[in-house]
Amino acid sequence: MIKLTINGKTVEIEEGATIMEAAAKAGIKIPSLCHLKDVHTYGSCRICVVEVDGMKNLQASCIVRARDGMVVHTNSPKVRAARKVLYELLLSDHPKDCLSCNRNQNCELQELGYELGITETRLEGERSECSVDISPSITRDTSKCILCRRCVTVCNEIQHVGAIQAQNRGFDTVISPAMGLPLNSTACAMCGQCTVVCPTGALQETDGLSRVWKALGDPGKRVVVQVAPAVRAALGEEFGLPCGTPVTGKMASALHELGFDDVFDTLFSADLTIIEEGTELLHRLFAVLTGGDAVLPMITSCSPGWIKHIEHQFPEELDHLSTCKSPHTMMGAVVKSFYADRLSMDPRDLYVVSVMPCTAKKYEIERGEMEVDGTRDVDAVLTTRELARMIKSAGIDFVNLPEGSFDAPLGLSTGAADIFGVTGGVMEAALRTVYELVTGRELPFEGLHVTPIVGLEQIKTASFVIEDTLLEYKHLEGVEVKVAVTSGLEGASMLMREVADGTSPYHFIEVMGCPGGCIAGGGQPRPKEDDFRKKRAAALYSEDEHKPLRKSHENPDLMKLYEEFLGEPGGHLAHKLLHTHYVK
């Protein structure tokens, strides 16, 4: 441990910590526009400068290490003056269009200006050349970019995708894909992690609100909304509720108040996914064990960022992907077939909106695979942040809303579906059903939680031996089933390298594109605390544990859907509506 003095306070901290970390330990906040916790920082914005006794120049506290005996001043006149000039220089090349910017009142640059007491624009200089790049998921407006490089850090050092970098030098520097290509023509997975860390409006989700408001105002449309699992674990944060507060009931009430005709739950179709994916896994296992033709490991296919990543990085391995569409596109297909039939409506008059924690879902719905007989499964995707904005602009008092519920016939779900939103959840949900189908007994883990794959580690694995199967599954008796789970694209690439070189020992792999799973998706509220993943995950596990039904095959409305409409799991109609093939 070392000891230093910051603003007259003595702080003890481990050797190797930065001055900024030492200050945080002493309860002193040092502002920064580029710092990201636990990853390499460039120290590019310099807003975090501090004065250190005995050192001539101001020091960037996010990269300079604290040393024993150091005396630091974070708020001296020299520091304050320097921060102000640094800020004004950033502002001199910024559009200052706060009133018409989506990040108004939610912008770190704006907030810092207030904290620094900026009351006038003193410096007006040359403006750099700017452009706007609109992909289906992400909109990049370089005029608002302050070159902090947080997006470069998440893209390169957390997701290991490398779609964006600093291009050119000096005043011509721009954060962009190589050669100024549009994002949509690069290996960008559309995960949107860059939009979460961007301190300004330079990187945002591509607008989905305009078309949803338009559909809601169209008397010729019946507008159906569905909500992803992870949204309920984070939406409350946008309304000042503590991180990790589940807001399922209030969210359903808000969606009714917004005027959606049907408020359905993506959890229903997550249960549906488990039945289809579980059936597919059993078919593949049977084929492989009896010398037939099938590809293992099977890999989950519900995360569109992950699908885009495997297409770019491992195009030879696409047969490993489950043929299941993602739950929200399955829901769209069911709404426009089963529900349209039930209402005797033309599916083209139904407008399906998905509220998702994910920016990649915006791109996913535009893929050619996500339609049936020329009708799109889903018409619009809103992120959790966009839904919050919609609720605010409709003047709804979210916090005081009553606990509402989802509508029948596509609103009932089991706890297995809640945990889809957290890394390991899809695998656990699948195992709860598959194990019971094969053995006639409950999964032998306490509380139905497959503990080795619960948690936020990058790669988790589990294995168990199937004993005493029901007669029709005798071929599986004695088989040791091996599974792996990862979240974030770096972990996905690690597991895929094993798959590609034929050494993967697993039968089934779950991959989610964002670290932690959808709870930390690119469309979620920008977190204010370090352990937000843990808290949001706990919210979903608690939703699961409090449900009367916790296994997908126990969902009575889902079983009715099979009996009355779909027929057999994995059957002809199910395949037509709910499955697809990704090809090179």
Residue ranges that bind ligand HC1, judged by CB under 6 A = 228-230, 266, 270, 302-303, 326-328, 356-358, 361, 420-421, 512, 517-518, 521
What Å distances lie between residue 473 and 64, 223, 483, 583, CA to CA?
61, 43, 19, 31
Residue 158 CB, shortest distance to ligand HC1, in Å, is 17
CB-nearer residue toward ligand HC1: 61 or 322: 322
Which residue, 278 or 421, has its beta carbon nearer to ligand HC1?
Answer: 421
- Which residues have a catalytic role annotated? 277, 280, 302, 322, 361, 364, 369, 518
Nearer to ligand HC1 by C-beta: 73 or 526? 526
Distance of closest approach, residue 330 Cβ to ligand HC1, in angstroms: 8
Partners of 482 in the β-ladder: 463
- The DSSP secondary-structure symbol of 336 reads I
Q: How far is the CB of 153 from ligand HC1 (least distance, A)?
A: 23
CB neighbours of 179 closer than 8 A, spacing ≥ 6? none
**Residue (45 or 358) nearer to ligand HC1, CB:** 358
113/521 with CB nearer ligand HC1 = 521
Shorter beta-carbon distance to ligand HC1: residue 331 or 340 = 331
User: Shortest CA distance to 272 belongs to which of 565, 578, 540?
Assistant: 578
Distance CA 177, CA 186 (A): 7
First to last CA, the chain: 54
In sequence order, what are the residues at sequence separation of 6 or more whose Cβ sits closer than 8 angstroms to the Cβ of residue 571? none
- For the CB of residue 553, give the shortest distance to ligand HC1 in the complex, in Å: 16
Put residue 357 in one of left, alpha, beta given phi > 0 → left and psi -120 to 50 → alpha. alpha
Q: Nearest-5° angle of CA 393, CA 395, CA 400? A: 130
Q: How far apart are CA 337 and CA 269, in angstroms?
A: 14
- Output the smallest distance, CB 58 to ligand HC1, in A: 43
User: Cβ-count burial of 475 within 10 angstroms (0-12 exposed, 13-18 middle, 19+ buried)?
Assistant: middle
Distances 253 to 211, 256, 403 between C-alpha atoms, Å: 21, 5, 7
> How far apart are the C-alpha atoms of 437 and 427, rounded to whole Å?
15
Distance in angstroms (rounded) separating the CA atoms of residues 372 and 275: 20
Minimal distance, residue 327 CB to ligand HC1, in Å? 4
Residue whose CB is less far from ligand HC1, 52 or 370: 370
Return d(Cα 43, Cα 61) in angstroms, integer: 8
Q: Looking at residue 337, what DSSP letter applies?
A: I
Smallest gap from residue 236 Cβ to ligand HC1 (A): 15
